[in-house]
Amino acid sequence: MLNDFSTEYSVRSDDELLMLASDRASLTKEATAALDAELRRRNLAESDQINRQQFVKRKEQREAKKRRRKIFGTGRDRGAWLDLLWAILAMALISSTYLALPGRYHMTPDWREAAVHMMFASVLIAVVGRSWWRKIGFWMSLILSSATHLFVVHAWIQRVGNLSHGQGKLAILLGFVLFFAVYGFVWLLRRNFYGTEARDRT
Greater model confidence, 131 or 146: 146
Contact predicate 36/50, CB 8 Å: no
Domain boundaries, the chain: 2-72, 75-201
Confidence category of residue 117, pLDDT binned at 50, 70, 90: very high
Nearest to 49 by CA among 25, 69, 21, 73: 21
Confidence category of residue 201, pLDDT binned at 50, 70, 90: low
| pTM value > 0.85 | no
